[in-house]
Structure 1
Amino acid sequence: MTSTASHKPILDKPFVLDLFAGPGGLDVGGHALGIPSLGIEWDKSACLTRYAAGLDTLHADVSAVRRDAFESLPPEINVLAGGPPCQTYSVAGNGVGREALEEVKKYIERLLTKGESDRKIDKDLKTLSGDPRTAMVLEPLRYAIQATRSPNRERRPYDVIVLEQVPAVEALWHHYAKVLKEIGLPDGTKYEVVVKVLDTETYGVPQTRSRAVLIARREGLGAPSLPKATHLPYEAKEWNRRSDQASDGVYQATLDDGIAPEAEEREETGGEARQHWRSMGDVLAKPVGTHLGRATPFLVRSNYGSSGIPGRRGVRSDRQPATTVTGRISRFVVFQHLDEKIVYEGPRFSMNEAGMLQSFPPDYPWSGTAQAQQVGNAVPPLFGAHLLSAALGLPAPDPEVMREPWEPATEEKRAKLRSHGCGASDECTAQCPRPEDHAPPSSSARPRKNKKASAP
């Protein structure tokens, strides 16, 4: 851990319940801080990755656990965390969640109104936006309420709540903050809350990714604060792209201006020394674990809108941070040998390289199918560690911890984790959720028919 300031942890033994846990981003961040966690995740492949990584997991639907198995959760859990599904809120999604934000706010008041049954609210939520994932953003609040009703917990509220989502949900987090501070939970518990959109590259993640975060502490535990940025924000330079189509159909591109600053250089910003943002080359060029390093220089043409604008592809060099890593990371095209004026398409990012751009440790054991989607959906572990450290009064994490190769679980431990999470040591059981239960209606999918790819 790296810190020159004094820190006073607010909890003696933090234990995190990670809702919508994915392949383990927040849990890996907690691991770097020495914090135990239990994750709830409905996707089978993400659970396989978690079991392989040795992370305690319930392969279950978050809503179902709250309704039917809340009393089975460890009573010592005192930190609630999660990043609800973002597809319907993201600019890359179909947007039905953004249209339903005002309606979702009304449900927050209903949840905090004494006397209205969960059954009635669940029935009404089924009609919300036509996509079952939209209502999932309410689950953290419903868990916070349920904790105050749980005999197994002696009706103790969670001490800390940490949430993150795409920037479009910032307004909803502000509404969360308002009710947690002014109205409180039905038992009277109130929280001090901070909300803001943060940029992950300012915390050492080699990727530009903005997230709306909420950090809440129960009254009496002190006012929460946002994590202090450790790196400078990325500011796009003047990149001059020359798209001369060569005879073999490959595009050439050249860099116009100076070299990006080295990661170890520091600048004084607001009276504090910050490192420069980390580039793709900073993390991928150097060998670590079984990663042999990637030859530089290279250019990356993303398959995702640049600067949050869908339809406009971005091109960046190894001397820049990656664009937002999404489930399309496997489609990013990498061009190499730029220094010799010979440009050709090189190997695309492996899953371990994609994970490293998210700040996952090298050799993280990605498993199951749709691995690119797992990587793209995950909370960047280093960013997650910063959120948890700020929420719990701990020193900021050392980014180099995430560079250490991950030790996968033994077959024995993996079987034990799956037996706990799925009900059997080598397979899913009837208690495991079905993927179709959270699938959006077919009408909400964006049309792809006859859609042609555009040039970089």
Structure 2
Amino acid sequence: MTSSDVGARFLENPYILDLFAGPGGLDVAAHMLDVPSLGIEWDKDACETRYKAGLRTWHADVSAVRRDRFEELPKELNVLAGGPPCQTYSVAGSGAGRKALAKVEELVDALMVQRVAEDEIDKRLEELQEKGGDPRTALVLEPLRYAIKALGSPNREGRPFDVIVLEQVPQVKALWDVYKKALEVGLPGPGGRLFRYKVAKVKTLHTEAYGVPQTRRRTILIARLDEHGTPPLPGPTHHTYNPHRPKQGGPEDEEAVAQALQLPMEEGDKSPEPWVSMGKVLRATKQRPEGRKSSFEIVSNYGSGGDPKKRGIRTDRQPSFTVTGKVSRNAVRHPDGTPHHPDRLTIPEAGILQTFPPNYPWSGNDKSQQVGNAVPPLFGMHVLAAALALPLPPEEKLRENWPEFDDEERATLRKEGCGAPDGCGPDCPPKNQPSPSSSSDSSRPRTGASAKRSVK
């Protein structure tokens, strides 16, 4: 049973270019759909995880690849995906956010209408940063710049990306609306030709409505080249979670499920299933982490209602809080308040709540941040399946062990991604240069340094 309006398959061989790829959430989703992918990722630790997981990866700056190495990308890439770090572009009650959005719209107009050259756009971005602008302005333009660059690429013979999929935190909806308008007007190609896209309504989706045992919201943009027709958004398969009515829509709420069954539905539709609890998925996973066989509660690291002293609490019968880069700070205890063992979520457990396979090979440093930054693969499966008109595989596949790769296979991937089988090469980001914040999937603002307490 799929969650998307699957029509006729329109891409014979989809191949995804994943910008700001993180530790591999979207790539794992693509793997489950039998779709190959190539990720570009800045963060060395996330690349370590990706190499160990057997994912094709370029350890590189997305902007540098577009400027200097675009012709090296496989010409068969026909799906562009990514989640550029852009939380500062919210216009909700923020004067700075509105100014940032206006600047982005100005630069989009320069790219689309005025057809300003790449080096001139780079110059304008440098000037903006010198005046105190956010450096992530450059990154948020990258998906659009990649899509335009493809049209003038000799290697691609001017062939556009057939599908574009973008995702980020809810605050960037206004930004995706700017993208939607630009894609519908059309990307400028050689000889003045416009390549238009049909774009689904930009919408914020709840991940627990797609079977993820976690409350998390993501704003999605899905576009298809005009000839492929308007893409659907993925249809929800589960109830959303209401924290004010914690049983509603859950496995214990027979009344809510019964009401759903009585709702008028189109022929062939299926009523939503109960949302999935974190206890259920941890216990259903074949490689179940030790110590979670009995009931437990999780106490959030964040304050509730703006009060840092009031910590939110979820039980194992509810979905998890949003898994952020500080997930290892959340306390785990018995219902009577005594510490559970272990008293913090382990990295494998946090990964499972993100719907990664139980043995996913988290590597490098700051694993908590990697887990928190990632797109939940199960949610990614729904989004990609809708975008590409593909049937969904059983979600239980994500509870199976991830395939293991030997040292020789990892060395081959590293040589492709870093230029050397045992370390970084000249095209890798310089050491000690601050990361531009990869795919930054946290739905809460970050404060201070990332959590370093990664429970192994």
Q: TM-score, normalised by structure 1?
A: 0.85
Matched, 1:182 2:185: yes
Return the offset for 1:115: 4.1
How does 1:81-160 map onto structure 2 within 5 Å?
81-86=81-86, 88=88, 100-126=100-126, 127-128=128-129, 130-160=133-163
Return the offset for 1:183: 4.1
Other-structure match for 1:402:
398
Contact 1:364–1:408 (CA<8 Å) still a contact in 2?
Answer: no
- The one-letter code of the counterpart of 2:84 is P
For residues 118 and 146 of structure 1, the distance between their equivalents in structure 2, rounded to whole angstroms, comes to: 9
For residues 249 and 295 of structure 2, the distance between their equivalents in structure 1, rounded to whole angstroms, comes to: 12
Other-structure match for 1:373:
369
Other-structure match for 1:254:
none
Return the offset for 1:434: 2.6
Other-structure match for 1:301:
299
For residues 81 and 113 of structure 1, the distance between their equivalents in structure 2, rounded to whole angstroms, comes to: 23
Deviates more, 1:107-116 or 1:153-162: 107-116
Return the offset for 1:188: 0.5
State the SS of the aligned residue for 1:376.
helix
1:131-175 CA distance string (max 9 Å, x none)? 322321110000000000100000100000000011111111111
For residues 292 and 333 of structure 1, the distance between their equivalents in structure 2, rounded to whole angstroms, comes to: 16
Other-structure match for 1:26:
26
Q: TM-score, normalised by structure 2?
A: 0.85
Q: Number of matched residues?
A: 423
Return 5+ residue gaps in structure 2 as ranges: 438-444, 450-456
For residues 440 and 37 of structure 1, the distance between their equivalents in structure 2, rounded to whole angstroms, comes to: 22
- The one-letter code of the counterpart of 1:18 is D
Return the offset for 1:437: 4.1
How well do the aligned residues superpose, as a CA RMSD in angstroms?
2.9
Matched, 1:37 2:32: no
- The one-letter code of the counterpart of 1:362 is P
Return the offset for 1:365: 0.1
Matched, 1:193 2:199: yes
How does 1:29-428 map onto structure 2 within 5 Å?
29-86=29-86, 88=88, 100-126=100-126, 127-128=128-129, 130-186=133-189, 187-194=193-200, 195-237=202-244, 260-261=250-251, 267-268=260-261, 271=265, 272-289=270-287, 291-292=289-290, 294-304=292-302, 311=308, 313-336=311-334, 338=335, 341=336, 343-347=338-342, 348-428=344-424
Q: Aligned pair in 2 of structure 1 residues 97, 331: CA closer, same or farther (>3 Å)?
A: farther
1:29-80 CA distance string (max 9 Å, x none)? 0000000000000100000000000000000000000000000000000000
- The one-letter code of the counterpart of 1:191 is Y
Other-structure match for 2:16:
16
Return 5+ residue gaps in structure 1 as ranges: 240-256, 450-456
Contact 1:201–1:208 (CA<8 Å) still a contact in 2?
Answer: yes
State the SS of the aligned residue for 1:274.
coil
Q: Aligned pair in 2 of structure 1 residues 215, 131: CA closer, same or farther (>3 Å)?
A: same
State the SS of the aligned residue for 1:273.
coil
Contact 2:85–2:436 (CA<8 Å) still a contact in 1?
Answer: no
The percent of aligned pairs where both chains have the same amino acid is 54
Contact 2:165–2:220 (CA<8 Å) still a contact in 1?
Answer: yes
Other-structure match for 2:441:
none
1:267-315 CA distance string (max 9 Å, x none)? 43552311111111111134522634613311111113558x6956421
Q: Aligned pair in 2 of structure 1 residues 108, 259: CA closer, same or farther (>3 Å)?
A: closer
